[in-house]
Structure 1
């Protein structure tokens, strides 16, 4: 009987189309319905800060190079994950991520809490030749990032695009995007002070790639990696922050 109904449905074009629409609608409702309760799902925290222009540029490079295909940024509420990576991820930590980079595959370790775990020098060495610091790594090398100047003139447009989807960048932040990116990577420059004024005292200002006279794509990517898990302390409110000890096996 079931086979008869199935065969009849397949031979009726309109009925088959309607069945497809019905099946797709069910899946769509399951995905869309939770969005109506998004305000109840995403926590509201006072200390949540925005990505700086340099960090946002690094995030764009992370996406461009496909890093999300091998690294997730979502620590699940499983004991072994919490013990390895730190407190499980909260929705608010991805509040300003467009698109989100939770990922689903871990060829490499989860990076949700990698910020501050290693030094800038470690990240540069790792990106230049991963096997220098993790001998068993199968990650490709990105040495050329240190030789590639970061494009600064369009950073204001990137911030403006983020604002159009709800990220509260101000006109002042957009106007000073290029200056702030330069200042964050060149600590002794006149522009450095403006970064902390606009993005907060906890913003890391550093010669990320080890050269304090220029801004490269390596600067941007390391700046982004160093802020992961540090945009808010919300995840640590009910637990003590673990001591960040580098673990080459991670």
Structure 2
């Protein structure tokens, strides 16, 4: 009878729907105010360098996240294939995060260092030349297009407004030196963003073209750092030995 009364009384039903939605919203929103307590502290995690950041932007622009997740779940079949399950701290500087919900291709959370730079360049240019069964489209324009570096500092400032510790002042720089070390802190200095981007591209030459900095270079730089920042042997080692 009560169920029938609710269904036949639109005002009451609307009120109850609003109550349920409010409760659900509070359950999701309230924990965010305590995010610093819920994200574990993990050594090695840092913000993206200017070159990696531009690569991530290209990754999002080209829709790579539609087919590749970056979230390894804590299940046996997951870690056997991809490695240690994803830690919340790994995504603390991601806006937006790239966890994903669909895998047409493999998860990329631990792809960094798995293949050479040359393999990534060839795979992105012509996927079936290295993975015959791949259904991934070709991205030849990445190698032909020079990377736009004119707004990299503005992109870093935008992320700084969300809490990513890119530095502008000497005080912020000193804090980054203390937290990440001088080498990383130098890369996080917005005032030197373009110079740092060009230096990393020149020193590591991700695309194999030393005379230019291409979009391919930035994307490969981003892919090659995924999953490489954390020494996972320090975390939950017993969890995995339980299943071996």
Q: How does 1:7-26 map to 2 (within 5 A)?
A: 7-10=7-10, 12=11, 15-26=12-23
- Note the alpha carbon deviations across 1:191-241, whole angstroms, 9 max, x for none: xxxxxxxxxxxxxxx1111101111110110000000012332x331449x
Cα gap change, 1:20/1:142 in structure 2, threshold over 3 Å: closer, same or farther?
same
1:133 and 1:219 map into 2 onto residues whose CA distance is 19
Counterpart of 1:29 (choices 26, 29, 34) is 26
Q: Is the 8 A contact 2:7 2:13 kept in 1?
A: no
Structure 1 residue 7: Cα displacement? 3.5
Aligned to 1:231: 229
Q: Is the 8 A contact 1:50 1:231 kept in 2?
A: no
- Note the alpha carbon deviations across 1:103-125, whole angstroms, 9 max, x for none: 11111100000000000000001
Aligned to 1:169: 166
Aligned to 1:116: 113
Given the two structures, how large is their TM-score scaled by the length of structure 2? 0.84
Aligned to 1:139: 136
More helix by share: 2
Q: Note the residue ranges of structure 2 that are not aligned, 5 or more in a row.
A: 169-185, 239-244
Aligned to 1:181: 197
Q: Report the count of equivalent residues.
A: 218
Aligned to 2:216: 218
Q: Is the 8 A contact 1:111 1:228 kept in 2?
A: yes
Q: Is the 8 A contact 2:72 2:109 kept in 1?
A: yes
- Note the alpha carbon deviations across 1:83-105, whole angstroms, 9 max, x for none: 11111111111111111111111
2:98 and 2:9 map into 1 onto residues whose CA distance is 40
Aligned to 1:149: 146
Q: Is the 8 A contact 2:202 2:210 kept in 1?
A: yes
Given the two structures, how large is their TM-score scaled by the length of structure 1? 0.82
1:75 and 1:47 map into 2 onto residues whose CA distance is 18
